[in-house]
Structure 1
């Protein structure tokens, strides 16, 4: 029943005052203002204020609620993700109404089907919104974009790290940094912090590795002006013997291991663990390693492993504790990672919409520090805006800690 009500195309105004929860805005740092620009002052009655219209396209898959229908495990996971994201986003909007802002949030079931995404792209209620949030998955984003070539309103890709180059939509805002920005950030760390003279790139032989290796090499070559040597090496059954003559016993040997293949990683990491008995090692890993359960924290710590991440939630921080309390009070549930992202994005885009006086949002002019990540957007004419901020994490005391 909650899903059916939440996803109705009917306009559902957000209350202009916080309902039960305390205003949750302090749970994240406010959007930075341009230098010397005073904060916007709201003095007129709420009823006379601008109402920002937001269309949210999420994969609730409500057809599975029909007689004879049934949710598969995958569909249920997608629906749960959609509900959790919506709840976080709406909590942020409810918080912002305490500042006198007004919103009209409309939910649509994108059903995780490209055909449905194309249909929604032609829906007047969607096209006339000030902001479109979703679809979530790449196929839906691509299908939706083909139907809105004349629509200049901003469209948020809220959860997908897919490269915006695949969509060619100048109105797209990609919130989750794509993989190439992780690779570039790692290259910057290797050059600026490690000051490495050479980097050993351990390849699995699968072409998937190149999605990380190529932008890493481009960035490192650019920063070092080709002075940092990149040594590619395809590892076969964990054998690193051919590299030994090139290794230093006095200075750290920097290795890049861009694979996520379980069998390859387990064999190669064991070989590196043997290597550190005679050679100092620093290992640069893939951002997906954070969620790979088969990787052991003690081994990665011995290898002085560093990875990048677009998510780093400090559950002990005061702002996070305040958010959790507010979320529990509103929904009687624990917030998931999708609820946290929904809150951060609702707070950021809700404030941008409310304070925009030009009719054209400019995310590239407003940085933001949320609960799960910082937002620093850059704009490219053909592919829209993309958040470029990623954290550098290192294994300390058998857990990942932010170092930059």
Structure 2
């Protein structure tokens, strides 16, 4: 393959022979960033399927003496280059290398670029694997610099004009700035990481990979409706914090769509909650708060009530509960807590272990969530491009995907494009939330 090993992978392979930590890791990552994108200019990679014949013949061969295989090789090479040109991907990420000085490399410089670097490395690895399977792509990497003005320029640039697929930018303001100035609205623009509601961008060619909070709300309402049995009561515990309001907004209407006969109570304080809990069935309590004080009051009350009377509680919570330490509560697990989650990562599977090993072997560091997301995006969209060419947008709503970290199941709206509806459920086991 031509240029399939980039400066990025070569540098990190060189350093993986010894464990990197502290200042060594900082220096290695900063050096990688500087050498990878140079002076913040776009960088193109051509990823082609391997030459199955292997090797090249040196020297000049007179025309009449050229073996027949040479012409065939040229034909195959031309076909691969043509395929790579058709499967052109523009990857727009906020490396922000314009803010880095080679003479004063600081930890914050590397941290600022970490999301972009991790996503890129995962994405590159995904395309590399597809190339090894016999497909060809060209990848054009552009530094968005986390700048709205810069993205206006990038959207109209030559590097973008020939792209069959655009992945990025990452941050919401960049996405809006780029999308509104993109001249070719027929090319899909993938929002790879932002969980912002797609309707807020209002870009018909946008593909939003990260499920927004309303997707989680709908999925949880369907789960509660499925768990509900006659005699149970659903209690919606409203709080004033922003996370709680967002998560519970629209929950009742979504629940009613699935089960219109469910008994539902809505409360906004612990005393009100205590008035509505039932001794005769299961209390399905839905709470969206992530406020530590509110959670302590809520969980401590449930522990106290369940120790006094034979109440049966089942708790449904916000996806951000995965980041909260509930081990301080002795009986939290008794409430069989359930949350929705973006991640589908099963670290114990062979595929996940192989990816982690390959990633570390190439880059000298373990993959982050952004690395997994980049890898899954490359595998899904690269495969669509290779299979369907310019018609790949017609198949996005038809082809579901179960990746290492992400799953994709898209709905389409004429105003705000493709929205991923795939979320998983995690239950509290031991001292953390785990995939069901």
Report what 2:185 is aligned to: 151
Q: Could you tell me how far 1:57 is from its partner in structure 2?
A: 0.9
Residue in structure 2 matched with residue 320 of structure 1 by the alignment: 352
Aligned match of 2:195: 161
Partner of 2:424: 391
CA RMSD of aligned residues (A): 2.2
CA distance in 2, matches of 1:233, 1:121: 48
Cα deviation 1:200-256 (Å, max 9, x = unaligned): 12122235533211232221011123x224322112xxxx33343432223210111
Q: CA deviation at 1:78?
A: 3.6
Kindly state the Cα deviation for residue 5 of structure 1 after the two structures are TM-superposed: 4.1
Question: Is the Cα contact below 8 Å between 1:297 and 1:399 reproduced in 2?
Answer: no
Q: Is the 8 A contact 2:156 2:183 kept in 1?
A: no
What is the aligned partner in structure 2 of residue 374 from structure 1?
407
The 2-side partners of 1:90 and 1:302 are apart by 44
d(CA) in 2 for partners of 1:147, 1:297: 51
The 3-state SS of whatever aligns with 1:365 is: coil
Indicate yes or no: 2:430 matched with 1:400: no
Judge conservation of contact 1:297–1:395 (CA < 8 Å) in 2. Answer: no
When residues 312 and 177 of structure 1 are mapped into structure 2, their CA distance, relative to the original with a 3 A threshold, is: same
CA distance in 2, matches of 1:148, 1:242: 52
Give 1:220's aligned residue: 255
* Shift in alpha-carbon separation, 1:340–1:298, aligned structure 2, 3 A: farther
For residues 326 and 56 of structure 1, what CA distance do their matches in structure 2 show? Answer: 22
1:399 offset after TM fit, Å?
2.9
Counterpart Cα distance in 2 of 1:381 and 1:296:
47
Structure 2 residue ranges without an equivalent (≥5): 1-30, 52-74
Match of 1:309 in 2: 341
CA drift of 1:149 comes to 5.4
Q: How many residues align?
A: 372
The structure 2 residue matched to 1:9, chosen from 42, 48, 57, is 42
Matched with 1:48 is 79
Normalised by the length of structure 1, the TM-score is: 0.86
- 263-272 or 284-293, which deviates more: 263-272
CA distance 1:71–1:141, shift in 2 (3 Å): farther
| CA separation of 1:221 and 1:135: change in aligned 2, threshold 3 A | same
Can you give the 5+ residue segments of structure 1 that lack an aligned partner in the other structure?
19-43
- Rounded to whole Å, the distance in 1 between the matches of 2:172 and 2:422 is 21
Higher Cα Rg, which structure: 2
1:252 maps to 2:263: no
Closer/same/farther in 2, CA of residues 135 and 295 from structure 1, 3 Å limit: farther
Q: Which residue of 2 aligns with 1:198?
A: 233
| 1:184 lines up with 2:229 in the alignment | no
Deviation at 1:89, TM superposition (A): 0.5
Give, in whole Å, the separation in 2 of the partners of 1:66 and 1:95: 34
Moved more, 202-211 or 63-72: 63-72
Structure number with higher relative contact order (C-alpha < 8 Å, ≥ 6 residues apart): 1
Distance in 2, matches of 1:92 and 1:276, equals 49
Q: Give the Cα–Cα distance (whole angstroms) in 1 for the partners of residues 220 and 163 of structure 2.
A: 38
SS at match of 1:256: strand
